[in-house]
Amino acid sequence: MQKYMIETRGLTRRFGTQLAVDDLNLQAPEAGVYGFLGPNGAGKTTAIRMLLGLIRPDAGEVHLFGAPLAANRQSLMRRVGALVEAPSLYPHLTGRENLEVTRRMLGAPRALIDRALDSIQLAQDAHRRVREYSLGMRQRLGLALALLNKPELLILDEPTNGLDPAGIHEMRDLIRRLPAEFGVTVFLSSHLLSEVEQIASHIGIIHGGRLLFQGTLSELQDAHRAQLTLGVNQPEQAIHCLTAAGWGVQRRADGLLSVSATTSEDAVRINNLLVGQRLEVFHLAPAQASLEDIFLTLTGGKPAARRAA
């Protein structure tokens, strides 16, 4: 039976007349990275605050590790690490001293400081005052603080917000390593779809407070099958031929054609049809829709134009 680290049932939260989270039913399985995706204002941060017990839902309930949060908040939170928005740091203290303050509050072994610094690759800068840190270094230190209690579940809310491309790359690599190196399940909210696509094993997509999809990345892609891309020496004649045979065809900006077909059997039939018309096929391959394309389709946006290959 599947074990869920996070499970919500009918989770709902209003702010006045605004429905921020609407009947949310999350199921984040043990191990791996769960990517919680949604545009700004979709309800991600409100949902996370309810997962951490920072605000109460108007309806529904949160279960962590199979136990209800409302009745067991103190014991459950000992097993959770979190980085919500910008970390709270003491700029006049060094990185190591910031960790020491939190370690004492947690009553954790001193050895965990070195472990945390090594894990976020900040050991060589641990002696520097935090006021000298870049934004990326501060985010990494915030992640180290969240790991100090050796959590089983790590909840991260937009951990790459404000980072430059180098900082985003560093944070992505750190998050990718966490399940294997720390045995921790990561629940990650973000709007950076390309980053989440590279690290998440499971996806939840929220829009307008409602969950539009939940499952593995492969299940999401299978539910939005891509078309075949076709390269042929006479594209106009190929369009006419394929349309007459009942295939849906569109011309792409890069000169290739998109054909509304997905299976290998479809590819064989299309190739035989065109070759039989003395057309030269030089490219025929599936083109899986990206997470960005699927996300924008689900949330009512338009996929970004593809660049020529």
pLDDT digits (tens, 9 = 90+) for 176-189: 999 998 899 999 99
Residue 225: per-residue pLDDT: 66
Q: Is the pLDDT of residue 308 over 70?
A: no
In the numeric block, the tokens 């979709």 are attached to 42
Highest mean pLDDT among 50-59, 193-202, 225-234: 50-59
pLDDT at res. 226: 64
State whether 230 and 215 are in the same domain: no
Burial classification of residue 142, based on how many CB atoms lie within 10 Å of its CB (0-12 exposed, 13-18 middle, 19 or more buried): buried
Structure confidence at residue 309 (pLDDT): 33
User: The CATH number of the domain where 246 resides is what?
Assistant: 3.30.70
Q: Is residue 114 part of a domain?
A: yes
CA distance 284 to 257: 9
The predicted model gives 166-177 an average pLDDT of: 90
pLDDT bracket for residue 305 (50, 70, 90): very low
Q: Which of 171, 198, 219 is the last residue of a domain?
A: 219
With 80 as the cut, is the pLDDT of residue 154 above it? yes
Dihedral sign, Cα of residue 98, residue 172, residue 296, residue 154: negative
Domain identity same for 205 and 189: yes
Residue 305 lies inside a defined structural domain of this protein: no
Q: How high is the pLDDT of residue 191? A: 84
CA dist 141 and 252 (Å) reads 45
Q: Are residues 263 and 214 in the same domain?
A: no
205 and 235 together in one domain: no
Instruction: Give mean pLDDT, residues 70-86.
Output: 93
Mean pLDDT, all residues of the chain = 90
Q: Give the model's pLDDT for residue 306.
A: 38
Do 154 and 266 lie in a common domain? no
Q: Can you give the CATH number for the domain in which 46 is found?
A: 3.40.50.300
Owning domain of residue 67: 4-219
Confidence of residue 210 (pLDDT cuts 50, 70, 90): very high
Domain count, the chain: 2
Residue 141 sits in the same domain as residue 214: yes
Residue 27 covered by a domain: yes
Q: Decide which of 198, 219, 240 is a domain's last residue.
A: 219
| 207 in a structural domain | yes
Cα 244 to Cα 277: distance, rounded to the nearest angstrom:
13
Q: Which percentage of the chain shows pLDDT scores above 90?
A: 69
Segment 187-215 mean pLDDT: 92
Residue 215 shares a structural domain with residue 230: no
Q: Can you give the pTM of this predicted structure?
A: 0.80
Domain's final residue, options 170, 203, 219 = 219
Same domain, 236 and 265: yes
Clarify whether residues 245 and 157 are in a common domain: no
Whether residues 163 and 180 fall in one domain: yes
Tens digits of residue pLDDT in 259-299: 988 778 999 999 999 999 999 999 998 876 778 878 887 88
Same domain? For 78 and 115 the reply is: yes
So what's the pLDDT on residue 245? 94
Q: How far apart are CA 156 and CA 148, in angstroms?
A: 15
Residue 300, domain member (yes or no):
no
* 8 and 97 housed in the same domain: yes
Q: Is the pLDDT of residue 255 over 70?
A: yes
pLDDT beyond 60 at 302: no
* Rounded mean pLDDT, 244-265: 87
Residues 191, 77, 215, 290, Cα dihedral to 10°:
20
Decide if pLDDT at 303 tops 50.
Answer: no
pLDDT at 291: 83
Residue 31 lies in a domain: yes
**In the predicted model, is pLDDT for residue 2 greater than 80?**
no
